[in-house]
Structure 1
Amino acid sequence: MLFKFKSRATADVIMLEPNGKQLLEIIGKSPNEPHGIITAAQIPAAIRALEEAVAVEEAAAAATAPDEDDQTEEEAPRGDGVRLRQRAAPFIDMLRRSAAEDCDVVW
């Protein structure tokens, strides 16, 4: 399943289900609903929530990151390499542009 976020102010933002659910949970919306709305009035709080979640993730990653000088390439931790900041950036941009034009975001 995909999440397709729409606004009259921007092009659509399409996300895979796990990523869309994660962002909706962060902003306090139910990801289990097939359709929903983020009103223009709710957008500033949604942006703050996403930015705080990004900051928390980055702080946690920095705190648990091993010293790179002590590791060889084989020992380096592997992950998907895509952080919340990168996944949320298009959505945050959509929210900012929608707020500027006083438009709602729907999915």
Structure 2
Amino acid sequence: MLMTFKSRAAAEILMYREHAQRILDMLGKDVDQGVITVAELPAAIARLEKEIEASRAEARAHQAEEEAARDSFDKDDDDVAPVQSVSFATRAYPLLEMMRAALKEQLPVMWGV
């Protein structure tokens, strides 16, 4: 199911509920309906930035492990393409940008309304 994040400070953002839930859980918000008030935005932005950086560091470490494992296998397997996935940072970044714009404009971010 898709969710729509709204703020008059930015364009609407559509996100799958399962991906939005991780972000909203970390912010202590209900996934069905809610608001990040102007007063809550600085802490929410800091928390999301910290989580994005942690996920990027984890992805770099995971990539290094995969490359080391790939190097240890037979070179005949080079024609097998690695599995690509969308990172948490990539999924969360549009909402982070919306939150930054909302803070600048002193407007809330809402969903489920």
Class of the TM-score when normalised by the shorter of the 2 chains: 0.7 to 0.9
Residues 46, 59 of structure 1: CA spacing in aligned structure 2 closer, same or farther, 3 A cutoff? same
Among 96, 103, 106, the alignment partner of 1:92 is 96
Check if 1:45 corresponds to 2:43.
yes
Residue type at the aligned position of 2:15: M
Percent of counterpart pairs with the same letter? 35
Tell me which structure has the larger Cα radius of gyration: 2
Counterparts in 2 of 1:68 and 1:45: CA distance versus 1, 3 Å: same
Map of 2:21 onto structure 1: 21
SS at 1:37 equivalent? strand
What is the RMSD of the two structures over their aligned residues, measured on CA atoms? 1.9
C-alpha distance 63-6 of structure 1, shift in aligned 2 (>3 A): same
Q: 1:67 to 1:16 in 2, by over 3 A?
A: closer
Runs of 4+ in 1 over 4 A off after TM superposition: none
| SS of equivalent residue, structure 2 residue 3 | strand
Do the aligned partners of residues 67 and 14 (structure 1) sit closer, same or farther apart at CA in structure 2, a change above 3 Å counting? closer
Measure the CA separation in 2 of the matches of 1:55 and 1:103: 25
Q: Whose helix fraction is larger, Structure 1's or Structure 2's?
A: 2
User: TM-score, structure 2 length as denominator?
Assistant: 0.79
User: Please, which runs of 5 or more residues in structure 2 have no aligned partner?
Assistant: none
Q: Partner of 2:6: helix, strand, or coil?
A: strand
2:106 is equivalent to residue 102 of structure 1:
yes
Q: What stretches of structure 1 of length at least 5 have no aligned partner? A: none
- Residue 2 of structure 1 aligns with which residue? 2
Task: Report the equivalent of 2:55.
Answer: 57
